[in-house]
Amino acid sequence: MIQVENLKKIYDGNTVLDIQGLQIPIGESFGLVGNNGAGKTTFFSLLLDLIEPTQGFIKNHNVIVNKSEDWKSFTTAFLDDSFLIGYLTCEEYFYFLGELRNQTKQQVDAFLLTYADFFNDEILGKNKFIRDLSKGNQKKVGIIGTLIGNPKVVILDEPFANLDPTTQIRLKKILRTIADTKQTTLLVSSHDLNHTFEISDRIVCFERGRIIKDIDTKQYSFEELTAFFDVVV
Ligand SMILES: Nc1ncnc2c1ncn2[C@@H]1O[C@H](COP(=O)(O)OP(=O)(O)OP(=O)(O)O)[C@@H](O)[C@H]1O
C-alpha cells in the first residue's frame, strides 16, 4: 500500500503539488494523467525521495520514504535516462540491477529472454554501450530494467513517449500482464489516455497539483475520460 498524507511541494511560494490524501492498494495498476505542469513528475520524484516534501509524507509499504531507505529494496523506477548508466553495455546494466536485487546472471538471462520480442534484436548480444543506443532503445532498457527481481512497486514516468507504435503495443501488453497478476503495484504516468486506460485499474487526474478526478476504469468509459479532458483543456 502506498499512502499519501497531506503532501505539499512548494517552490518559491508556488504550490505545485497539494494532495490531502491518497491510498494506492497493493497490486493496483495506477494511471496518473494530467496536462503539462500538473505535478505528475513532482509526485513521482517525492515518492522516490528525489526531492523533499514541503509538508506531509508518503509511506510505501509502511516506510516513510524520506525518513528511511528500506523501501528501496522493493521499489523500482524509470523516470528518465538519468536512471541509466551510459558507460555500461545493456547486459552489464541488467546484471548490475540483478545483483542489487539478488538475482544471478542466469536468472537475469532467463528473464531477459522473455522480452526478446520487445527488444526487437537491437539490444541483447550487441555489446553496445547504453549511451550509444537510440533514445527509444534506451527507454526499453530502462523500462525492462525496472522489472528485474519482481519488485513490489514499479514506477514509470511517460513509458510510451518516444516509442514506435509496435513497441507501444508490446509495452501495453507487458504492463497489462503485470497489472493482471496483482502482485506488483504499478504506477504509470502518461499523456496517452488510450494506453493508460487500457493498462490501469484506476486513473487519477492531476490539475495544478491537485487531484481532480479519481476513477475506476471498470466503472467508467474511455469516452467519459476523454470528454472530461475536453472540458478541462
Ligand atoms: N525545481 C523546480 N523549481 C520550480 N518549479 C518547479 C521545479 N520543478 C518543477 N516545478 C514546477 O512544478 C510544476 C509541476 O511540474 P511537473 O514536472 O511535476 O509536471 P508534470 O505533470 O510532470 O508535467 P509534464 O506533463 O509537462 O511533464 C510545474 O509548474 C513546474 O514548472
Domains in the chain with CATH codes: 1-74+153-233 (3.40.50.300), 81-151 (no CATH)
What's the pLDDT score for residue 233? 44
| pLDDT computed for residue 228 by the predictor | 75
pLDDT of residue 229: 77
pLDDT at position 231: 62
Q: Ligand 1 mean position to 28 CA, how many Å?
A: 25
pTM: 0.94
The tens place of each residue's pLDDT in the chain, 233 residues long, gives: 999 999 999 999 999 999 999 999 999 999 999 999 999 999 999 999 999 999 999 999 999 999 999 999 999 999 999 999 999 999 999 999 999 999 999 999 999 999 999 998 889 999 999 999 999 999 999 999 999 999 999 999 999 999 999 999 999 999 999 999 888 999 999 999 999 999 999 999 999 999 999 999 999 888 888 887 776 54
pLDDT value of position 74: 96
DSSP, collapsed to helix, strand or coil, labels residue 52 as coil
| 80 ligand 1 Cβ < 6 A | no
Distance between CA 228 and CA 184 in Å, rounded? 29
Atom 26 in ligand 1: which residue has the minimum CA distance?
Answer: 36
CB of 36 sitting under 6 A from ligand 1 = yes
Atom number in ligand 1 closest to CA 14: 5
